[in-house]
Amino acid sequence: MQRPLVVFLLLILLAQSCKKPANTSPAKFTGCRISQITETPADTTTTPRNVYHFYYNSDGTVQHLYVYVSNSPYTSYHKYFSYRGGYVSIRTVYGMENATEGTDSVALDAQNRVIYFYHGYLPYSSYSNPQWDGYVYDGTGSMVLHTANTFGNLSMDTLLWQDGDPVVYTHVVQGTGTTDVYTNTYNDTLYNTGNATVDLRDFEQCGRRIYTSKHLLTRVSDANIYANDTIKTYAYGLDTGGRIVSVAETVNGSLFNTTQVVYECE
Protein backbone atom coordinates (compact mmCIF):
# COMPACT_ATOMS: atom_id res chain seq x y z
CA MET A 1 0.00 0.00 0.00
CA GLN A 2 2.87 2.38 0.60
CA ARG A 3 3.64 3.93 -2.79
CA PRO A 4 6.67 6.11 -3.65
CA LEU A 5 6.16 9.56 -5.20
CA VAL A 6 2.65 9.81 -3.74
CA VAL A 7 1.93 11.78 -0.58
CA PHE A 8 0.43 9.35 1.92
CA LEU A 9 -2.10 11.66 3.49
CA LEU A 10 -4.43 14.16 1.87
CA LEU A 11 -7.85 15.32 3.02
CA ILE A 12 -10.82 14.56 0.78
CA LEU A 13 -14.17 15.86 2.04
CA LEU A 14 -16.39 12.88 1.21
CA ALA A 15 -17.74 11.90 4.61
CA GLN A 16 -21.40 12.61 3.77
CA SER A 17 -21.54 10.70 0.50
CA CYS A 18 -19.56 7.75 1.88
CA LYS A 19 -22.06 7.22 4.69
CA LYS A 20 -25.07 6.74 2.40
CA PRO A 21 -25.94 3.26 1.08
CA ALA A 22 -25.07 2.83 -2.59
CA ASN A 23 -28.66 2.24 -3.67
CA THR A 24 -30.25 5.41 -2.21
CA SER A 25 -30.95 8.64 -4.05
CA PRO A 26 -28.04 11.04 -3.49
CA ALA A 27 -28.55 14.19 -1.46
CA LYS A 28 -27.04 17.52 -2.46
CA PHE A 29 -23.56 18.02 -1.00
CA THR A 30 -22.97 20.98 1.31
CA GLY A 31 -19.69 21.91 2.92
CA CYS A 32 -16.11 22.16 1.68
CA ARG A 33 -14.25 19.87 -0.67
CA ILE A 34 -10.93 19.89 -2.46
CA SER A 35 -10.79 21.55 -5.88
CA GLN A 36 -7.04 21.30 -6.54
CA ILE A 37 -3.98 19.48 -5.21
CA THR A 38 -0.45 20.38 -6.32
CA GLU A 39 2.45 18.02 -5.64
CA THR A 40 5.93 19.51 -5.95
CA PRO A 41 8.79 17.03 -5.44
CA ALA A 42 12.12 18.24 -4.10
CA ASP A 43 13.75 16.76 -7.21
CA THR A 44 11.81 18.47 -10.01
CA THR A 45 14.36 17.58 -12.69
CA THR A 46 13.50 13.90 -12.88
CA THR A 47 10.16 13.79 -11.05
CA PRO A 48 7.22 15.77 -12.47
CA ARG A 49 5.18 18.34 -10.63
CA ASN A 50 1.57 17.09 -10.74
CA VAL A 51 -1.55 19.22 -10.45
CA TYR A 52 -4.85 17.44 -9.70
CA HIS A 53 -8.11 19.22 -10.60
CA PHE A 54 -11.34 17.82 -9.10
CA TYR A 55 -14.88 18.25 -10.46
CA TYR A 56 -17.90 16.92 -8.59
CA ASN A 57 -21.48 15.73 -8.96
CA SER A 58 -24.18 17.47 -6.91
CA ASP A 59 -23.98 14.77 -4.20
CA GLY A 60 -20.24 15.32 -3.65
CA THR A 61 -18.97 12.28 -5.55
CA VAL A 62 -16.18 12.86 -8.06
CA GLN A 63 -17.37 13.32 -11.63
CA HIS A 64 -14.10 14.18 -13.37
CA LEU A 65 -10.43 14.32 -12.43
CA TYR A 66 -7.80 16.04 -14.58
CA VAL A 67 -4.14 15.41 -13.79
CA TYR A 68 -1.64 17.82 -15.37
CA VAL A 69 1.98 16.59 -15.52
CA SER A 70 4.13 19.70 -15.80
CA ASN A 71 7.33 18.37 -17.34
CA SER A 72 5.59 15.84 -19.57
CA PRO A 73 2.29 17.37 -20.72
CA TYR A 74 1.56 14.62 -23.24
CA THR A 75 1.17 12.19 -20.31
CA SER A 76 -1.46 14.42 -18.65
CA TYR A 77 -4.82 12.70 -18.45
CA HIS A 78 -8.51 12.89 -17.57
CA LYS A 79 -10.54 10.40 -15.55
CA TYR A 80 -14.34 10.24 -15.80
CA PHE A 81 -16.38 8.52 -13.07
CA SER A 82 -19.86 7.04 -13.72
CA TYR A 83 -22.01 5.67 -10.88
CA ARG A 84 -24.76 3.08 -11.08
CA GLY A 85 -26.03 1.13 -8.11
CA GLY A 86 -23.09 -0.35 -6.28
CA TYR A 87 -20.61 0.09 -9.13
CA VAL A 88 -18.32 2.81 -10.42
CA SER A 89 -17.05 2.84 -14.01
CA ILE A 90 -13.83 4.81 -14.62
CA ARG A 91 -12.65 5.87 -18.07
CA THR A 92 -9.15 7.32 -18.61
CA VAL A 93 -8.38 9.66 -21.52
CA TYR A 94 -4.96 11.13 -22.31
CA GLY A 95 -5.50 14.76 -23.33
CA MET A 96 -2.56 15.34 -25.66
CA GLU A 97 -3.05 12.06 -27.50
CA ASN A 98 -6.85 11.98 -27.27
CA ALA A 99 -6.44 8.27 -26.58
CA THR A 100 -8.81 6.30 -24.36
CA GLU A 101 -7.65 3.36 -22.28
CA GLY A 102 -9.84 0.48 -21.16
CA THR A 103 -12.44 1.09 -18.47
CA ASP A 104 -11.77 0.29 -14.82
CA SER A 105 -14.56 -1.08 -12.62
CA VAL A 106 -15.07 -0.57 -8.89
CA ALA A 107 -17.57 -2.59 -6.82
CA LEU A 108 -18.99 -1.08 -3.61
CA ASP A 109 -20.74 -2.68 -0.65
CA ALA A 110 -23.91 -1.39 1.02
CA GLN A 111 -21.83 1.14 3.01
CA ASN A 112 -20.25 2.51 -0.18
CA ARG A 113 -16.87 0.97 0.64
CA VAL A 114 -14.64 -0.34 -2.12
CA ILE A 115 -14.58 -4.15 -2.07
CA TYR A 116 -13.23 -4.90 -5.56
CA PHE A 117 -11.31 -2.95 -8.18
CA TYR A 118 -10.76 -4.35 -11.68
CA HIS A 119 -7.96 -2.68 -13.68
CA GLY A 120 -9.18 -2.65 -17.25
CA TYR A 121 -6.49 -0.27 -18.47
CA LEU A 122 -3.25 -2.01 -17.58
CA PRO A 123 -1.13 -3.43 -20.43
CA TYR A 124 -1.40 -7.18 -20.84
CA SER A 125 -4.54 -7.25 -18.74
CA SER A 126 -7.08 -9.76 -19.99
CA TYR A 127 -10.09 -11.72 -18.81
CA SER A 128 -7.85 -14.79 -18.50
CA ASN A 129 -5.34 -12.88 -16.37
CA PRO A 130 -7.19 -9.91 -14.82
CA GLN A 131 -5.46 -7.34 -12.64
CA TRP A 132 -7.51 -6.61 -9.52
CA ASP A 133 -7.57 -5.47 -5.90
CA GLY A 134 -9.85 -6.85 -3.19
CA TYR A 135 -10.63 -5.28 0.20
CA VAL A 136 -11.99 -6.81 3.44
CA TYR A 137 -13.39 -4.85 6.41
CA ASP A 138 -13.98 -5.83 10.03
CA GLY A 139 -17.13 -5.31 12.08
CA THR A 140 -16.16 -1.74 12.98
CA GLY A 141 -15.79 -0.76 9.32
CA SER A 142 -11.98 -0.70 9.32
CA MET A 143 -10.20 -2.09 6.26
CA VAL A 144 -8.05 -4.98 7.53
CA LEU A 145 -7.00 -6.88 4.40
CA HIS A 146 -6.01 -5.77 0.90
CA THR A 147 -5.19 -8.42 -1.71
CA ALA A 148 -3.73 -7.43 -5.09
CA ASN A 149 -3.20 -9.48 -8.25
CA THR A 150 -0.57 -7.77 -10.42
CA PHE A 151 0.18 -9.67 -13.62
CA GLY A 152 -0.46 -12.94 -11.80
CA ASN A 153 1.62 -12.02 -8.72
CA LEU A 154 -0.35 -11.89 -5.48
CA SER A 155 0.44 -9.56 -2.59
CA MET A 156 -1.38 -8.96 0.67
CA ASP A 157 -1.54 -6.05 3.10
CA THR A 158 -2.85 -6.65 6.60
CA LEU A 159 -3.68 -3.71 8.87
CA LEU A 160 -3.69 -3.51 12.66
CA TRP A 161 -5.84 -0.70 14.09
CA GLN A 162 -5.60 1.12 17.42
CA ASP A 163 -7.75 4.01 18.66
CA GLY A 164 -9.16 4.54 15.17
CA ASP A 165 -5.80 4.53 13.38
CA PRO A 166 -4.00 1.84 11.32
CA VAL A 167 -0.81 1.67 13.40
CA VAL A 168 0.86 -1.30 11.68
CA TYR A 169 0.43 -2.79 8.27
CA THR A 170 2.36 -5.61 6.74
CA HIS A 171 2.95 -6.02 3.01
CA VAL A 172 3.78 -9.55 1.80
CA VAL A 173 4.44 -10.65 -1.78
CA GLN A 174 3.59 -14.33 -2.12
CA GLY A 175 6.28 -16.66 -3.42
CA THR A 176 9.15 -14.15 -3.06
CA GLY A 177 9.63 -13.80 0.68
CA THR A 178 9.37 -10.02 0.32
CA THR A 179 7.91 -8.49 3.46
CA ASP A 180 7.62 -4.85 4.53
CA VAL A 181 6.32 -3.82 7.94
CA TYR A 182 5.11 -0.23 8.20
CA THR A 183 4.71 1.30 11.66
CA ASN A 184 2.66 4.51 11.74
CA THR A 185 2.74 7.31 14.31
CA TYR A 186 -0.04 9.90 14.59
CA ASN A 187 -0.55 13.33 16.12
CA ASP A 188 -3.25 12.75 18.72
CA THR A 189 -4.23 16.44 18.71
CA LEU A 190 -4.94 16.65 14.96
CA TYR A 191 -8.22 14.93 14.10
CA ASN A 192 -9.88 14.10 10.80
CA THR A 193 -13.22 15.49 11.96
CA GLY A 194 -15.63 15.46 9.01
CA ASN A 195 -12.91 14.43 6.57
CA ALA A 196 -11.64 11.27 4.91
CA THR A 197 -7.91 10.62 4.90
CA VAL A 198 -6.67 8.71 1.91
CA ASP A 199 -3.71 7.78 -0.17
CA LEU A 200 -3.99 10.07 -3.18
CA ARG A 201 -3.40 7.14 -5.52
CA ASP A 202 -6.45 5.35 -4.07
CA PHE A 203 -8.56 8.45 -4.63
CA GLU A 204 -7.19 8.90 -8.14
CA GLN A 205 -7.96 5.31 -9.10
CA CYS A 206 -11.27 4.76 -7.29
CA GLY A 207 -12.65 8.27 -6.81
CA ARG A 208 -12.96 7.75 -3.07
CA ARG A 209 -11.18 6.73 0.09
CA ILE A 210 -10.23 3.16 0.92
CA TYR A 211 -9.80 3.66 4.66
CA THR A 212 -9.84 6.53 7.15
CA SER A 213 -7.67 7.17 10.18
CA LYS A 214 -8.93 9.08 13.22
CA HIS A 215 -5.79 11.23 13.55
CA LEU A 216 -3.27 12.69 11.13
CA LEU A 217 -0.21 10.64 10.26
CA THR A 218 3.15 12.17 11.26
CA ARG A 219 5.65 9.32 10.81
CA VAL A 220 5.98 6.03 8.90
CA SER A 221 8.80 3.59 9.59
CA ASP A 222 9.36 0.89 6.93
CA ALA A 223 11.34 -2.20 7.96
CA ASN A 224 12.07 -4.76 5.23
CA ILE A 225 14.22 -7.80 4.49
CA TYR A 226 16.65 -5.80 2.36
CA ALA A 227 17.86 -3.63 5.27
CA ASN A 228 17.10 -0.44 3.30
CA ASP A 229 14.66 0.81 5.90
CA THR A 230 13.11 4.24 5.45
CA ILE A 231 11.47 6.77 7.74
CA LYS A 232 8.95 9.24 6.36
CA THR A 233 7.61 12.22 8.29
CA TYR A 234 4.71 14.60 7.56
CA ALA A 235 4.19 18.19 8.71
CA TYR A 236 0.90 20.01 8.08
CA GLY A 237 -0.20 23.59 7.51
CA LEU A 238 -3.79 24.38 8.53
CA ASP A 239 -6.13 27.22 7.63
CA THR A 240 -8.38 29.04 10.11
CA GLY A 241 -11.09 26.43 9.53
CA GLY A 242 -8.77 23.58 10.51
CA ARG A 243 -8.41 22.29 6.95
CA ILE A 244 -5.05 21.10 5.69
CA VAL A 245 -3.61 23.46 3.09
CA SER A 246 -0.05 22.12 2.91
CA VAL A 247 1.86 18.92 3.62
CA ALA A 248 5.67 18.61 3.77
CA GLU A 249 6.96 15.05 3.41
CA THR A 250 10.53 14.03 4.28
CA VAL A 251 12.31 10.72 3.64
CA ASN A 252 15.17 9.83 5.96
CA GLY A 253 15.44 13.47 7.02
CA SER A 254 15.48 15.05 3.55
CA LEU A 255 12.58 16.96 2.02
CA PHE A 256 10.89 14.73 -0.52
CA ASN A 257 7.63 16.35 -1.54
CA THR A 258 5.50 19.41 -0.78
CA THR A 259 1.76 19.47 -1.36
CA GLN A 260 -0.64 22.43 -1.56
CA VAL A 261 -4.40 21.96 -1.22
CA VAL A 262 -7.13 24.35 -2.46
CA TYR A 263 -10.78 24.03 -1.36
CA GLU A 264 -14.17 25.09 -2.65
CA CYS A 265 -17.05 25.57 -0.23
CA GLU A 266 -20.83 25.66 -0.60
Q: Kindly write down the DSSP assignment for every residue of 162-208, as one continuous string.
A: ETTEEEEEEEEETTTTEEEEEEEEEEEEEE-TT-EEE-HHHHHHHSS
pTM listed for this prediction: 0.79
Does residue 1 belong to any structural domain of this protein?
A: no
3-state secondary structure (DSSP) of residue 15 = helix
Does residue 144 belong to any structural domain of this protein?
A: yes
Q: What is the pLDDT of residue 185?
A: 94
Q: What is the pLDDT of residues 60-105, one digit of tens each?
A: 889 999 999 988 888 899 999 999 989 999 988 886 656 666 688 9
3-state secondary structure (DSSP) of residue 243 = coil
Which of 117-121, 150-154, 196-200, 244-248 is predicted least confidently? 196-200
Q: pLDDT tier at 7 (50, 70, 90 boundaries)?
A: very low
Does residue 153 belong to any structural domain of this protein?
A: yes
201 pLDDT more than 80: no
The CATH number that applies at residue 109 is 2.40.160.190
Does residue 23 belong to any structural domain of this protein?
A: no
pLDDT more than 70, % of the chain: 76
Does residue 24 belong to any structural domain of this protein?
A: no
Does residue 207 belong to any structural domain of this protein?
A: yes
Does residue 171 belong to any structural domain of this protein?
A: yes
User: What is the span of the domain harbouring residue 190?
Assistant: 10-18+29-265
Continuous segment of H or E residues that includes residue 115: strand 114-119
Q: How many domains does the chain have?
A: 1
Does residue 2 belong to any structural domain of this protein?
A: no
Nearest by Cα to 129 from 137, 119, 139, 138 = 119
